[in-house]
Amino acid sequence: MKITSARVIVTCPGRNFVTLKIETDEGLTGVGDATLNGRELAVASYLTDHVIPCLIGRDPHRIEDTWQYLYRGAYWRRGPVTMSAIAAVDTALWDIKAKAAGLPLYQMLGGRSRDGALVYPHANGADIEETVDRVGDFLAKGFKAVRAQCGIPGIATTYGVAHGSKFYEPATKGLPEEQIWSTERYLDFVPKLFARLREVYGFGPHFLHDVHHRLTPIEAARLGKSLEPYRLFWMEDPSPAENQEAFRLIRQHTVTPIAVGEVFNSIHDCRELIQNQLIDYIRTTVVHAGGITHLRRIADLASLYQVRTGSHGATDLSPICMGAALHFDVWVPNFGIQEYMIHAPVTDEVFPHAYTFQDGYMFPGEVPGHGVDIDERLAAEYPYDPAYLPVCRLEDGTLWNW
């Protein structure tokens, strides 16, 4: 089999997505997600201008060789743009290989280790009682794990809290929105949210919380300690993780489990965190960490240290990433949980998919490949619409981590 053509499709059904479609001389096609929120066209150009010309004529079955060719062969390694582009090729090639075999992708990885993937959605509210109600809505739908975020008194906009509608979507049209952050107000407030959630729903459901890189290590240690009575499934991204060693300080002070890695794009970003057992869950995902081929390497390293997977699954990762992630999740032995921030109906229409949700779990489906496609005719009706993630400042104007 040979790759005869490949193209990038940029579309905005509710939000922007970048998709790579690869075609072969045997009529089989595969698709991969290449979306990098707020930097979409950089990946589109990387693929169109620099990767696609190298793919034509290659054997699509040689996934590992193609991965190495694009990673080592470019000379310039790693980084979110490069690794998202490689991920898109890798995902599309796994899709083709599984279709050629007539098998769902998880079978190509070694078969199922579990029936379905435990998932968590996002609940948010302007205040504690609204968040408590939203959590209740998800529990009533059968979810067994829910991420809870809440508006903080004295801060106008809080990470993870919707501006009006109950759906949270951080990217906005035009230039980046500027938000104000106060660590002091946040640290005093968050434990009250989880105290109330446990009071109302008991200790049955899993609760998760995303700190979104806002704290220093010692502040994160204090937060983890203050949340211990409420037994969180995890606290996510408590502090920026460029300096992996810094997490030792957090770890020395708290047994609240830690999840990190949605912004990582290679095994080198998390090697020390994993080998020193400074985290409990690794959040790297198919689209931003080099595809299934590289994610599998990260998960295998993590398994040696009893670190489990908890892949990023926000709405800026397309249904193609979600589908591929679910095949990975039902296979990977050291699976923890999968984020599932439900896509808008219009997104689901453009990306028809085989995956389903039932009673707190998701199932990748049994169709050959990863089970997700793109309706190109419909996609063309939603042209690219530039949007940016917000930036964050402290109350005195200092630029901070959003």
Under the criterion CB under 6 A, does residue 139 sit at the interface with ligand GCO? Answer: no
Alpha carbons 206 and 198: distance in angstroms, whole number: 10
Q: Give the residue nearest to Mg ion (CB).
A: 210
Binds ligand GCO by CB under 6 A, chosen from 40, 90, 316, 373:
316
Q: How far is the CB of 369 from ligand GCO (least distance, A)?
A: 25
Q: How far apart are CA 285 and CA 338, in angstroms?
A: 10
* CB of residue 101 to ligand GCO, shortest distance in Å: 32
Main-chain phi, psi angles of 8, to 5 degrees: -105, 135
Residue 330, contacted partner among ligand GCO, Mg ion, none, CB below 5-8 A by kind: none
**33 near ligand GCO (CB under 6 A):** no
In this complex, which beta carbon is closest to Mg ion, that of residue 361 or of residue 402? 402
The rounded distance, in Å, linking the Cα atoms of 387 and 402 is 16
Partners of 337 in the β-ladder: 310
Per CB under 6 A, which region of 49-57, 109-117, 123-131, 312-320 contacts ligand GCO?
A: 312-320
Query: Site for Mg ion (CB under 5 A): which residue of 210, 219, 269, 373?
Result: 210
Gap between the Cα atoms of 239 and 221, Å rounded: 10
Query: Is 361 buried (19+), middle (13-18) or exposed (0-12) by CB count in 10 A?
Result: buried
Task: Answer for the pair 88, 47: CB distance below 8 angstroms, yes or no.
Answer: yes
Terminal CA-to-CA distance of the chain, rounded, Å? 45
- The residue count for binding ligand GCO (CB under 6 A) is 11
Question: Which partner, ligand GCO, Mg ion, none, binds residue 95 by CB below 5 to 8 Å per kind?
Answer: none
What's the CA gap between 300 and 10, in Å, rounded? 33
Query: Is there binding between residue 40 and ligand GCO (CB under 6 A)?
Result: no
Establish if 214 lies at the interface with ligand GCO (CB under 6 A).
no
Dist. CA 386–CA 173, nearest whole Å: 6
Please report whether residue 9 would count as binding ligand GCO according to CB under 6 A: no
Which one of residues 99, 212, 327, 353 is an interface residue with ligand GCO (CB under 6 A)? 212
- State in angstroms the smallest separation of the CB of 158 from ligand GCO: 12
Pick the piece of the chain touching Mg ion (CB under 5 A) from 79-87, 260-268, 354-362, 373-381.
260-268
- b/e burial code for range 7-33 (CB count within 10 A of at least 16 → b): ebbbbbbbbbbbbbbbbbeeebbbbbb
Footprint of ligand GCO on residues 332-391 (CB under 6 A)?
339, 341, 389
Per-residue b or e along 88-97, where b marks 16 or more CB atoms closer than 10 Å to that residue's CB: bbbbbbbbbb
DSSP calls for 193-205? HHHHHHHHHTTSS
Task: Give the binding range for ligand GCO (CB under 6 A) out of 13-21, 49-57, 127-135, 309-317.
Answer: 309-317
Q: How far is the CB of 313 from ligand GCO (least distance, A)?
A: 7
Q: Which is nearer to Mg ion, 313 or 319 (CB)?
A: 313
Q: Strand 3-11 and strand 17-24: pairing? A: antiparallel
Would you please indicate which residues are annotated as catalytic (active-site) residues? 159, 212
Stretch that binds ligand GCO, among 26-34, 49-57, 108-116, 311-319 (CB under 6 A): 311-319
Distance (Å, whole) CA 398 – CA 396 = 6
Polymer length of the chain: 402
Q: Decide: is 251 part of the binding site for ligand GCO (CB under 6 A).
A: no
Contact 170, 135 (CB under 8 A): no
Which residues ranging from 80 to 119 are in contact with ligand GCO (CB under 6 A)?
Answer: none
Site for ligand GCO, residues 153 to 192, rule: CB under 6 A: 170
Q: Token match 């089970």: residue?
A: 371
Q: Are 75 and 305 in contact (CB under 8 A)?
A: no
Which positions lie near ligand GCO, rule CB under 6 A? 37, 170, 210, 212, 262, 312, 314, 316, 339, 341, 389
- Using CB under 5 A, list all residues that contact Mg ion: 210, 262
